[in-house]
């Protein structure tokens, strides 16, 4: 942890060893450094979401190989790599969340701000009889059973529009016309 890589990670800044044969902190690696003819080492922290997750370490066979221009370019490169790592992590997280939503036993509907359905899971299609293609682009009112009065829906929408969570029981209508009672949470 005392070499350029460990220092870059720990101190969250680039670290440079311009001549590995002269710098005392490189002593633990002297044998391997000599075998690989490494004379310069530069390490740059890779950061995502405000924390260091690793380092990009470069080794050169010439002493004093990393000048100001090279360091500037390598800092830009590590910024780009850090961004790519962050995006990859976000994509992985989104895939995990999507898998969880798709596998949920309860029907899940996602709408846009205007209440138009943009996504449903398999449990929704099984419960309602509507395919994904039939549901997306419609409003949830396609399930309306006629068993609730205007005041019921007014209170529901008032709660949601106020940024609150609505919980309750609702009687809905499947595609085949049959009714079902659903314990529902709308956020």
CA distance 71 to 79: 12
Average pLDDT of the chain to the nearest whole number: 92
CA distance 58 to 82: 16
Distances (CA, A) of 9 to 53, 56, 59, 125: 8, 10, 17, 49
pLDDT digits (tens, 9 = 90+) for 61-106: 999 999 999 999 999 999 989 988 888 778 888 888 888 888 888 9
**Secondary structure of the chain: what % helix, strand, coil (to 5)?**
45, 25, 30
């Amino acid at each position: 942890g005392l070499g350029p890589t460990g220092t870059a990670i720990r101190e969250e800044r680039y670290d440079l060893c311009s001549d590995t044969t002269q710098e005392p902190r490189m002593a633990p690696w002297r044998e391997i450094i000599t075998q690989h003819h490494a004379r310069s080492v530069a390490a740059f922290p890779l950061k995502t979401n405000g924390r260091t997750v690793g380092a990009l370490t470069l080794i050169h066979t010439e002493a004093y190989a990393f000048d100001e221009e090279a360091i500037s370019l390598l800092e830009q490169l590590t910024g780009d790599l850090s961004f790519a790592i962050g995006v990859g992590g976000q994509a992985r997280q989104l895939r995990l969340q999507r898998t969880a939503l798709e596998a949920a036993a309860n029907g899940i509907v996602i709408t846009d701000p205007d209440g138009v359905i943009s996504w449903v899971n398999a449990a929704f299609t099984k419960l309602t009889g509507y395919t994904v293609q039939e549901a997306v682009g419609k409003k949830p009112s396609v399930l309306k059973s006629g068993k609730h009065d205007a005041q019921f829906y007014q209170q529901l929408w008032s709660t949601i529009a106020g940024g609150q969570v609505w919980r309750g029981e609702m009687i809905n209508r499947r595609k085949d016309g049959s009714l079902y009672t659903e314990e529902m949470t709308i956020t």
